[in-house]
Amino acid sequence: MIDTRTGNVITSHSPQAVALYREAVDLILGSESGAAETLDKALMLDQGFALAAAARYCVAKDVGESDAGIYRELAQRTALHASDWEREHIDVLIGLLDEPAASLTKARAYIDLTPGDLLVVSQLSGYLFFYGGPTKLEAVLKLFESVEGALANDWAFLARLGFAASEAALHKRGRDLIERAMELRPQALIPFMVWHMCFTIAEQKKSRQRCCGTGSRSTRAPPARDKCTGMCNGILPWPSFRSVNMRLRCSVIWSFVLHKPQHAALS
């Protein structure tokens, strides 16, 4: 079977395991619940499924599971029987999870050759956002723009590019991209959170303009979310979201968008 984002062949003797892996990657990228359980099912069907083991390590590392190393060892061992692309994906992904600073050059080279690997792109962008220095916002936006040709119609990519654009003060572009992401996958938490972020930034800008006697009052309302699933269920009501400190809110949302542990976002 084929990886839907990269177009590469996935090594597994179980088509059902591959389908579960692809579902789990979407859950990871959408910050939806159930990724760990879905990957566990995939590994039960194919204990030698290297990509699933690497993704499971990504989830375990992100939430701080005490036995996360088991999945890293499984991924590295089973990668010996996988394709060249899969071995490189696993090597780069684990490198960004464990030693991101030492893995930057390797990750960039890999992304140049495999721009559709959004799991790796997202991990790299997370490191750049939190530790990329004074030009980090421009660097993150440039990274996402560099892979746009491969992921232009992907909902998870559009959400990330939209937030990166908004963070770089391109608010209208950001909101338009995020709304496209929401249309493509309305149940995902990430586009919903990011939409609110961009909406708030724009509304605060308009409020400042009104205080100075310019601009007009917006009547635009946040999107309806009557049927939320996963982590989105019951989280982030609109009034309380707008009242949170802007810098903290940006960091926390980026933590979800880029799979960065919360403690790093708040440091």
Residue type at position 183: E
The amino acid present at 163, given as its one-letter code, is: F
* The pLDDT value given to residue 121: 97
pLDDT in tens, 149-172: 999 999 999 999 998 998 899 988
Domain ranges for the chain, please list them.
Answer: 1-98, 149-267
Q: Name the token pair of 215.
A: 């601009």
How many other CB atoms are found less than 10 A from the CB of residue 80? 9
Closest by Cα among 62, 39, 60 to 51 = 39
250-267 as b/e: b if 16+ CB within 10 A: bbbbbbbbbbbeeebbee
Task: Using DSSP, state whether 162 is helix, strand or coil.
Answer: helix
CA angle 132, 172, 184 (to 5 degrees): 90
> Which pLDDT score is estimated for 222?
45
Q: Render each residue's pLDDT in the chain as its tens digit; 267 residues.
A: 899 999 999 999 999 999 999 999 999 998 888 999 999 999 999 999 999 999 999 999 999 999 999 999 999 999 999 999 999 999 999 999 999 999 999 999 999 999 999 999 999 999 999 898 999 999 999 999 999 999 999 999 999 999 899 889 998 898 889 888 888 887 766 555 555 555 555 555 555 555 555 444 444 444 443 333 333 322 233 233 333 344 444 444 444 455 554 334 333
Q: HSE of 88 in the Cβ direction (CA atoms, 13 Å)?
A: 14
Side chain identity, residue 152: A
- CATH fold label, 1-98: 1.25.40
Element (H, E) at 209: helix 189-211
